[in-house]
Every structure is written in C-alpha cells, then in structure tokens.
Structure 1
Amino acid sequence: MLSTLELRHIIESALRPLSCECRVDQSGSLQALIFEPVSGRVELLVTGISTASLNCNRAIGKLIAEIQEDLETTHGQRPTLRIG
C-alpha cells in the first residue's frame, strides 16, 4: 500500500494544470481541494476518499478519472491524466 504522502503526490500531479491540495481529515479519509492556481477559485472539493481503497494503480487511476469527469461536468475542464 502506498503512503498518504505518495497518494497525495500522485493525485495532485495528475490534476495539473489545476492545483490540488490533498489532506487527511479527522476521520482518516482523504479530501482533495482542486482550484485554479492563478485566481485561487475552488473548482471542486472531494471529501471522504478512503485511502484503504486506493491500494493499486487501477484504483488511483479510477479516482482521478472520476475527479476529472466531475470537473468536466461542472466546469468544462478536464486536465490531462498523469499517473506516476
């Protein structure tokens, strides 16, 4: 299993050119705040991400694809998928 630090790096890097800050909340779940880097405008906040479910590249890729889909649906933005 990847460390929280590694998960954060993968997710944050994959959502560029938008900025992403991943944090572990009080319940131990991951939350991802995705925002426009210049203006700081929040594009999406994803909460309650189970780190236990992110145990392989496929699961991480699926999460990133779901976040990208949400971004595209709500804002018409879809960053290029980058894993690793």
Structure 2
Amino acid sequence: MLSTLELRNIIESSFLPQRCQCTLAQDRSLTVRVYDRTSERLDMTVTGINAEQLTSSRAISNLIAGLRADLAHSHVKQARRVNDSL
C-alpha cells in the first residue's frame, strides 16, 4: 500500500496546472478539492473517498478519471447557467 504522502502526491499532481488539495481524515477517508486555475476559486470538493480501496495503480487511475469527469461535467453545467442568463 502507498503511503499517504505518495497517494496525495499522485492525486494532486494529476490535476496540474490546476491546484488540487488532498487531505486524509482520521477514518482514512480522503477529501479532494480542485481550484480554478485563474481565479483560485474552489471548483469541486469530493469527500468520503475510501483510501483503503486505493491499493493499485488502476484504482487510483479510475478515481482520478472519475474526478476529472465530475469536474468537466460541473464546468459544462456552469457554462449553461451563464449562457441561459444572457
């Protein structure tokens, strides 16, 4: 199993050049926060990720892919709201 520091580094660096912050709670659940690249506004927060299940590179890759998809989906929803208000 990866150390907490290694796991955090993998997840956080996968979102570069955006800033990503990954924290581990005492119950071994992760919280991932991704910030907008230009404004530093919080774009996405995901809590309750079970770190115990991230035991392989595939599991970590699947988590990152899912987080990226969620982030892209939230950007599409925000763009629609802006366009609808114009």
TM-score normalised per structure 2: 0.82
Larger radius of gyration: 2
Give the corresponding residue for 1:13.
13
Whichever residue aligns with residue 47 of structure 1, its letter is T
| Aligned Cα root-mean-square deviation (Å) | 1.2
State the 4+ residue runs in structure 1 displaced beyond 6 angstroms: none
Give ranges in structure 2 of 5+ residues lacking alignment: 77-86
Whichever residue aligns with residue 18 of structure 2, its letter is L
Shift of 1:40: 1.6
Whichever residue aligns with residue 69 of structure 2, its letter is E
Which is worse superposed, 26-35 or 49-58?
26-35
Q: Percent identity?
A: 45
Q: Deviations along 1:12-68, whole A, 9 cap, x unmatched?
A: 000112110101124321111110244220110011111110000000000000000
TM-score normalised per structure 1: 0.83
Number of residue-to-residue matches in the alignment: 76
